[in-house]
Structure 1
Amino acid sequence: MTSKMFATRNSEDIISVISPPQSTSAFRSRPSLTSQRSNDSAISSGANSDSDETVNSIINDVVDFESERSTSFDSGCYSDEAFNSEEFATAQNLAKAWKMCAEFRRRVEDGKDTTSIEQSIQREIAYVKKFVRNNDWPVSHEIRSDIWRILCHTKDYDAQKTTYHQQLEDLTKSGVKQLQPLFLSFDGIVVCDHGLKEQGAVTLQRLLIVVECVRPEIRYVPILYPLCAMFLHYMEPEDTFACVMRLLSQGNGFMLQSEVAVYASAHTTLALLKKHKKKVYQALKTKVGTSDDEKLAEIFKDWSAWVFKYLPYAYLVRVLDCFLVEGHKMLLRVVLSLTYLWYKEKGKSTLPSSVAAGSVDEKLDAVREEIIQVVRDCPISISTLLDICTSIRNFKFSTVQRLQADFELKHRDKINLERSMKSQLSPTRTMYTQAFSSAIIDCEVASEIMNALPTRFQLETPSLLFRLSENGVSFTQLWNLIDQAEQSILIIKSTKNEVFGAYCSASWSERRDFHERTRSKYFGTGESFVWYADRSIGLPRIFHWAGTSSDHPDDCPQMFMTANDRLLIVGSGGGDAISIRDELTSGLSYACNTFSSPALVPGNAFEIAELEVFSVVSSVD
């Protein structure tokens, strides 16, 4: 692999060009195979008598589970020969089964008849689940990288690898000066690289920036950071990128991808605990001292960190084996099982008197800390933990979906309101490059507008194409000067000193392609946004596409841009966010459903004092 690295860890000038390692071994900082065997053996045998009692108690509660595991670390038996022949032969069978599943997905996507193979596919999926659950490969076994690639493979896999290298090349050429991806600034994101070496940590940050460039709509995925880190322990960055793109494409099937979904998942988890582990649920109520499920659900608000940060590395690896087959539902199984372990270890004990006499919130925090401690010091082997996970009967995906949908509907307005309040002030962000110079807005406002652009467009300073005071009030002159721009920033100043505008994500020349757009006169993408300058804070208030914060973006209006020879409109649906007609002298602004934005000027009508259009480009040629 000959791609370029451009980061060094713990450096003020974050990005520099360095050569990557030739294999992922340079990324890892994990125990050797021999030490890992002894660690797993110790885990299997139990560390003390208290743990033995816990194990015996748990085993008595678990429904009989027929295990067909091959020899492994966990059993204390290991055979190189077995893994080189029997295990690889089985892995080949897995590959065949999973390719059949992939073929089934392709046939569905292509609209072909699938009835003749559906039953066969269901059998193969059941086989894959059983195979992955019951084969305890050592954490350092080379088979894992192949298995994970198989489980994440799609027809676009190689194309995604190419996309990764292309984006990486664009970033390297740009001389970008930021390492940390934007999504890491949000609360609740799990940040843990599980012992990657310095080079691997640099690669991880770079990989996440590329993911953010390619999927700019992905803003809140708590497990994305540690999941990418785990992939990098076993495969090259381009393979990691392709795998992550596959998982992200499945909506919430693998990774929850919105604040609403994450918030609702805590309530879903509590409801599942109430259904499948009633004794544990009752113990939580008693220990916290409340029957209010709204409060009890707060225990699970950071459940993703239990799995992806606090669970021992060897355990997490095995959980991921199953997760890549079974998706989000497997993580819920693990969370319920970890809560069950807490119940066996600490559920019947009393909290310290100082905490017990405190508020419900204090007791909630104490119980959360107890659970995290149990997860860190997991008293059972990973095999037993997975047995507990898979012994939860009638744990149906349809039930999970129904509960999740109900709680999302119930709490959506609350979360959207909180998000809106948080976003009133634009967050401070590191600039990629120098802000553009405008006759209407100052450097600080220009910087905030640039920070709101998709990351890949923050690599070059926007350049001025049109200024009303210099080029005149003619639409003809406007189109002649700005049609060349693939993307543009529009800035307007009214005669009453109101300042507002838009980022337009498509070329205005597309107005001439009306006949090619059979469904709509509108064009542009969900990366567009509108804004106005708030004088009270000296910063712009930015309104992104409504679909960005919706769990059902396809249902949101997508009327981003439209125009003709003497008309320019940005945003529509309920009203136009910005509309200018006839000449570049006046316009109107109303509340707009596409951006969920209010009127950008008081009184709706405005007279234009100055208007600027800047070209936005993605990278250095």
Structure 2
Amino acid sequence: MAAAKRRQQMKSRLSTYVSVDLTDYAVVDHEDFNTALCWTPLTNKKHINEAKLLSYFDHFQIYATTPTALKKTVRKGVPLNQRAQLWFECSGGRTFLTKHPTLFDENLAEFVFPDPLPVTHYEAELDVSLDHLTERGVASLRRLLMMLYHEFPHIPSCPLLPAIASYFLLFMEDRECHACMSAILQSIDDNYFDCSQRSYAASLRTFQDLAKVLLKPVYRDVLNTVAKSKGEDKSIIFQDWMVWIFKYLPKDVVIRMIDCFMIEGRKIFYRMGLAILIIFHKHYLRNNREGLRTFNSTQLESIRQFVKFLPVSSDLLLKTGFNISGLSRKTMTKYFEHNKRLIDQGKLLYQFDKTTNAVVVGPLPDQNSNIVEPKQWSQIWNMIPDRFYIKVPIMLFTSAEHGCSLKTFYLKAADHEPMVLLIKTLEGEVFGAFVAASWERRKKHPNLSFFGTGESFLFTLTPEVERYAWCGRVAYEMMMKNSSDAGAKAASKFSSMNATDKRLAFQRTRTGSLENFCHYFMAADDSCIIIGGGDGYGLWLDAELNKGSSARCQTFMNQPLTNSKDGTFVCACVELYGLIDT
């Protein structure tokens, strides 16, 4: 009797958290969605004990030791009408929402969202499928990700966040989803999300290590040839194994995995990734024994295609993953921490690539710009060094309001650093520079002598987006990674240089320092400002902020920022922004 009463109370509470109409976010209608995702046990012989599952909700905390009984119960399957409650409780969302009941609404009202909403930085990190969301659902997800990005500026990278949040939105309102994601992000437990590129790279390599230890026949037949060809100690072979899961697996399987993720943490994804390898090995061996012996890196794509058209049932995939023995949290953590140390020591090479159409949606300036739209400002934010993500931009100077005077420019700039300089020409071209040093330093460097740091760079926004970093920084990174694919990608930036420019870019001292690279970052006096020097000025402006020029310079190895034949231009507007602490 007590259990029945408790069950009724819980169902009443559930209505609070599943009040969103799934037809707003899911691509199928409500009945089909319920049918597709409703709970079905892994075996007909055992059924979930609903009362037992509900009994955990008031006591279980996501950061406490996971109860074995709850883990086993959830693995059997969670009823659809209890999933939202499970996720809400186990993620810590309820506790977060209780402590911050108005945070979501306040931030939603204050945040200025670009229109149309661009692909966010978090989305760019992992190629996942969002085809389970409607257009409205995708927009809701991107608004949520933008808010989280600014609420947690110390977490500029979190590849799994968009995928997990997109499924949470199917079962709860935006406010509850925000609370759940915030609760996980603010915790100190890294068992759920990788909150840095370093951590994510370590996770990718850990999957490879676990396959080698736990799936020896699979590793021997499928991975060994690839590992040797890539340099096993320095490479991450499966850089897209997370994509197998979140882009190609059936949605009902992904949702069942998220059920377990709330209880077991990221270990469930390792289990499913390894299960994919086991099934791939079995089917590939059966159908292509000779091909397996010569399996190589160019055939890794075949695994992705295999997952896309998985020839086994969802239940069999889940069972295979759950039955992998030896995959303990202790083992997983051991390899994970070891790989993080390898990355720190430079012994594990990995380039974290972003999709080309992705932008970091940064905070908008305090005043509207006469030069760039919010989307273009996001493109600028995508270029700046990571350590400045926690800062916000303020407009220091605009020629539209303060006039065309270099003296006023210096007065408004004061000792702010770093800064972003924007220029729009009469021809409609938009370009500028990021400078890491204050213009006040010109007083210590008379006669147009140069100062500044290697974080400075030039950029163009219109007609094309391009960033020109200091050649010393780019070349140094290339040399440090010249044995990896990342080095080859970086080297392509210099493929169009002539022989002289290449010698300048790669010239180094015997000790490996960067002293021989051009350090002509910034120079200024009462007559002009210069950004980038060496056989030409990357960007030059006169004292009236009216005329300027741009040429190729050795410091940034840039192309002229303007398309005019002689490299000169006339300014339509000049703006300067400072990046300050919040």
- Common fold by TM > 0.5: yes
Distance 1:488 1:257 in 2: 27
- CA distance in 1: counterparts of 2:380 and 2:346, whole angstroms: 27
Name the residue aligned to 1:541. Answer: 467
1:209 maps to a residue whose letter is M
CA contact (8 A) 1:503 1:529 kept: yes
SS, match of residue 166 in structure 2: helix
Is 1:226 aligned to 2:163, yes or no?
Answer: yes
SS class of match (1:207):
helix
Distance 2:305 2:345 in 1: 28
Contact 2:157/2:196 (8 A) holds in 1: yes
**Which residue of 1 is the match for residue 259 of structure 2?**
321
Cα drift, residue 145 of structure 1: 1.9
Q: 1:472 to 1:87 in 2, by over 3 A?
A: closer
Q: 2:80 matched to 1:75?
A: no
**In structure 2, do the counterparts of structure 1 residues 608 and 299 end up closer, same or farther at CA, with 3 Å as the change threshold?**
closer
Amino acid paired to 1:88: L
User: Following superposition of structure 1 onto structure 2, how do residues 99-248 of structure 1 map, counting pairs within 5 Å?
Assistant: 101=63, 125-127=65-67, 129-136=68-75, 138-153=77-92, 156-157=96-97, 162-171=102-111, 174=112, 176-183=114-121, 186=124, 188-193=126-131, 195-215=132-152, 221-248=158-185
SS in 1 for 2:117: coil
| CA deviation string 1:414-459 (max 9, x = no partner) | 545x86xx89x99899999999457xxxx79x98566213799999
| Gap change, CA 1:298 and 1:379, over 3 Å in 2 | farther
Q: What do residues 71-125 of structure 1 show as CA deviations (whole Å, max 9, x unaligned)?
A: xxx436658xx52x4432233232xxx28x5xxxxxxxxxxxxxxxxxxxxxx50
Deviations 1:24-58 (A, max 9, x none): 534344666984598836xx4xxxxxxxxxxxxxx
**Are 1:369 and 2:310 matched, yes or no?**
no
Does the CA contact (< 8 Å) of 1:435 and 1:450 recur in 2? no
- Structure 2 residue identity aligned to 1:132: K
User: 1:226: Cα distance to partner?
Assistant: 2.0
Aligned to 1:511: none
Give the distance between the partners of 2:88 and 2:82, measured in 1 at CA: 10
Matched-pair contact (CA < 8 Å) for 2:249–2:307: no
Of stretches 396-405 and 532-541 in structure 1, the one that deviates more from structure 2 is: 532-541
Distance 2:368 2:251 in 1: 43
1:25 equivalent to 2:11? Answer no
Aligned residues of 1:310 and 1:372 also touching (Cα < 8 A): yes
1:347 Cα deviation after fit: 4.9
Partner of 1:267: 205
Q: Whole-Å Cα distance in 2 between the matches of residues 166 and 613 of structure 1?
A: 30
Determine the structure 1 residue equivalent to 2:241: 303
Residue 602 (structure 1) aligned to one of 507, 530, 534: 534
Partner of 1:532: 458
Q: Deviations over 1:132-165 (max 9, x none)?
A: 3433575553332222222222765556664433
Q: Which residue of 2 aligns with 1:117?
A: none
- Alpha carbons of structure 1 residues 390 and 325: separation in structure 2 relative to 1, 3 Å: farther
Structure 2 CA distance for aligned equivalents of residues 371 and 298 of structure 1: 20
The 2-side partners of 1:467 and 1:500 are apart by 19
Distance 1:192 1:404, change over 3 A: farther
CA deviation vs aligned residue, 1:245-292 (integer Å, no higher than 9, x gap): 333345854233455554554432222111122122123147x68744
Alpha-carbon offset, residue 231 of structure 1:
0.8
CA contact (8 A) 1:488 1:504 kept: yes
Do the aligned partners of residues 390 and 315 (structure 1) sit closer, same or farther apart at CA in structure 2, a change above 3 Å counting? farther
Change (3 A) 1:138 1:484: farther
Q: 1:336 aligns with which of 269, 274, 278?
A: 274
The equivalences for 1:504-523 within 5 A come to none
Match of 1:614 in 2: 576
Shift of 1:293: 5.9
In 2, the alpha carbon distance for the partners of 1:202 and 1:350 equals 43
> Matches of 1:183 and 1:204 in 2, distance apart?
13
Matched residue, 2:381: 453
Query: Within 2, Cα distance between the matches of 1:264 and 1:77?
Result: 38
Contact 2:20–2:173 under 8 Å retained in 1 = yes
Give the alignment of 1:465-504 within 5 angstroms: 470-471=404-405, 473=407, 478-479=410-411, 481=412, 489-490=420-421, 501-502=433-434
Partner of 1:387: 322
CA contact (8 A) 2:360 2:379 kept: yes
AA matched with 2:257? V
Q: More displaced, 332-341 or 244-253?
A: 244-253
SS state of the match for residue 40, structure 1?
coil
Q: What amino acid is aligned across from residue 89 of structure 2 in structure 1?
A: I
**What stretches of structure 1 of length at least 5 have no aligned partner?**
1-20, 45-73, 102-123, 494-498, 509-527, 550-572, 590-599
Q: CA RMSD in A?
A: 5.6
Q: Is the 8 A contact 1:580 1:587 kept in 2?
A: yes
SS in 2 for 1:532: strand
Q: For residues 37 and 349 of structure 2, what CA distance do their matches in structure 1 show?
A: 49
Hey, what's the Cα distance between the residues in 1 that align with 2:257 and 2:172? 17
The question of 1:93 aligning with 2:19 is answered no
Q: What is the aligned residue count?
A: 456
Comparing 605-614 and 182-191, the one that deviates more: 605-614
- Report the equivalent of 2:398: 464
8 Å contact kept, 1:482–1:613: no
- TM-score after normalising by structure 2: 0.59
Asked if the contact 2:420/2:577 (under 8 Å) is kept, the reply is yes
- The verdict on how the C-alpha distance between 1:183 and 1:305 changes in structure 2, with shifts beyond 3 A counting, is same
Pair 1:411–1:33, CA change in 2 (3 A):
same
Unaligned runs of 5+ in 2: 1-17, 383-388, 425-430, 441-453, 478-513, 546-573
Equivalent-residue separation in structure 2 for 1:404 and 1:240 (angstroms): 32
- Determine if contact 2:118/2:359 at 8 Å carries over to the other structure: no
Counterpart-to-counterpart distance in 2, 1:158 and 1:184: 27
Q: Whole-Å Cα distance in 2 between the matches of residues 34 and 229 of structure 1? A: 17
Q: Greater shift after overlay, 273-282 or 311-320?
A: 311-320
Please say if 1:360 is aligned against 2:360.
no
1:160-215 superposed Cα distances (whole Å, 9 cap, x missing partner): 664433333234xx57312232337747421235x334543432233233334444
The answer to whether the 8 Å contact 2:39/2:77 transfers is no
Cα separation, 1, equivalents of 2:71 and 2:457: 50
Q: 1:78 to 1:378 in 2, by over 3 A?
A: closer
